[in-house]
Amino acid sequence: MTEFETVIGLEVHVELGTQTKIFCGCAVEFGAPPNTHVCPVCLGSPGALPVLNEEALKLAIRAALALNCTVRQESKFDRKNYFYPDSPKAYQISQYDEPVGEHGFIEITVQGEKKRIGITRVHLEEDAGKLTHSPYGDASLVDLNRVGIPLIEIVSEPDLRTAEEARLYLEELKSIMQYCAISECKMEEGSLRCDANISLREVGQRELGTKTEIKNMNSFRNVQRGLEYEEQRQKKMLLKNEKIVQQTMRFHEESGATVAMRSKEDAHDYRYFPEPDLPRISLSREYSEERRAEIPELPAERRQRFVEVYGLPLYDAEVLTVTKALADYFDGTASRVRDPKSASNWIMGDLLAHVKANGLEMEQVRVKPEQLAELIGVIEKGTISSKIAKNVLKEMLDSGKDAKVIIEEQGLIQISDEGQLREIALRIIATNKKSVEDFKAGKEKALGALVGQMMKETKGKANPQLVNQIMLALISD
Ligand SMILES: [Zn+2]
């Protein structure tokens, strides 16, 4: 049977986190009442002239550099002409043949192997308006607040071979954008959007097969689902010797299927020409280097440091570096404790569970890294048991109080006084003769029951190792 290879390329639009739009002074605000952040420039009134927002340019350059692109010293804007109700100007200001950045890459890890995915280009452009179609099919509403919000489009090389690789690439891309404070990348608010191109070719064949483009995938999971569906659809057609039609497909979330939307436009359909109302962009080397200096330690470097410096397993390092805020939190905690792995365990366990259950951002967590480090310190010293520490952390997360204050207030200090524990142990032995006999008869489990009684008696405050030792010594006689 014919073997096929899948070829996927992604086009990602990322909204830049500027205060105002790209060519006018209108505010950028998600969720504002429709058509309230508009002016003659972004509405495309005759005679209105665009002026480039420098912050958008800075963010685009920073993004291009973070994606290992070469930043062009010379670039320009072009008009992409199309008629659609989401664009009152009937064109979009974009970049055609001279984008801000080109020839970059993102590294992903696929089943333990590093793989480089090329980035063709990063270009600046303005967003279009948002259309809402009536479910009854009788009307469409347009909100032009989004017109003119600065975007970068990041186009990958056709280097991705599976839907899973596409998801990994998107996750890494999103992390990089967030680390560099370029965008919040909220797919649910549309500040990160992804279109995917996919084609199949016979294994060994050099030229690409006919591709389709999938739109309307609103989560990384759906990108993966959409691509998997389309891969199978194309494969079935090719096996039946049917021709793939180059077209745009819409992903249907409920069914997980892709549905043909329209035939795909080619670049010449847009009649690109240089934007006459904006000057060319000329960048000095220093200007780009200043942007490079704004880039923090990126997720891949941080993962490596967490493994090498803190000795974390790769899995922990991956979880803890997904967002910069979480990675900062771990750094802040781990650098203050003896065993960084215990910091990782507390953060990945109880802390993230709390964050998830309450729908919080890391910045909203009431326990600061130094407070968590203090709690881990008192466990390491044996002042409280880890079991009690779980409750203390819960209380800390609710109240924001320090561990030491809660331990003091509730008298939670671990009992490590041998004399005191021995006394309690003798009392328990006296009232649990059956367990003692069981133990002597070889049922080792009986020891656990006696230790359990001790912990119950001391409300979990007894030092468990010590209790074990004392009890074993007493009943082994
Ligand atoms: Zn405006």
Question: 352 and 224 in one domain?
Answer: no
Q: Of 233, 265, 290, which residue constitutes the final position of a domain?
A: 290
Closest by alpha carbon to 25, among 1, 56, 70?
56
pLDDT, average across residues 262-278: 83
Ligand 1 centre to CA of 21 (Å) is 7
Query: What would the pLDDT profile of 400-409 be if each residue is shown by its tens digit?
Result: 899 888 888 8
Q: What is the mean pLDDT of residues 419-444?
A: 88
How do 150-156 and 4-15 pair as beta strands? Answer: antiparallel
- Domain boundary among the residues 290, 315, 348 is at 290
Is the CB of residue 304 less than 8 Å from the CB of residue 333?
Answer: no
**Do 271 and 302 lie in a common domain?**
no
Mean pLDDT of 435-461: 86
Distance (angstroms) between ligand 1 centre and the Cα of 125 equals 15
Instruction: Supply the CATH number for residue 472's domain.
Output: 1.10.10.410
Query: Same domain for 213 and 323?
Result: no
Same domain, 60 and 199: yes
pTM of the model as a whole: 0.83
> Based on the structure, what is the number of domains in the chain?
3
Q: Residue 326 is part of which domain span? A: 297-410
Indicate if 215 and 310 belong to the same structural domain.
Answer: no
CA 39 to ligand 1 center in whole angstroms? 4
Please indicate, yes or no, whether residues 123 and 215 belong to a single structural domain of this protein. Answer: yes
pLDDT band at 477 (very low <50, low <70, confident <90, very high): low
pLDDT of residue 398: 92
Q: Sign of torsion, CA 54 55 60 65?
A: positive
Same domain, 274 and 229: yes
Express each pLDDT in 9-44 by its tens digit.
Answer: 999 999 999 999 999 999 999 989 999 999 999 999
Q: Supply the pLDDT for residue 265.
A: 65
CA distances for 273 relative to 59, 125, 152, angstroms: 25, 14, 19
Separation of CA 146 and ligand 1 centre (Å): 10
Banded model confidence at residue 317, pLDDT cuts 50, 70, 90: very high
- Looking at the fold, whether 98 and 14 belong to one and the same domain comes out as yes
Q: Pick the last residue of a domain from 410, 429, 445.
A: 410
Answer whether 70's CB lies under 8 Å from 99's CB.
Answer: no
Question: 61-73, pLDDT tens digit by residue?
Answer: 999 999 999 999 9
CA of 466 to the centre of ligand 1 (A): 71
Asked if residue 306 and residue 250 are part of one domain, the reply reads: no
Locate 383 and state its tokens: 């002042």
Do residue 62 and residue 106 come from a single domain? yes
Tell me, in angstroms, the distance from the centre of ligand 1 to residue 13's CA. 20
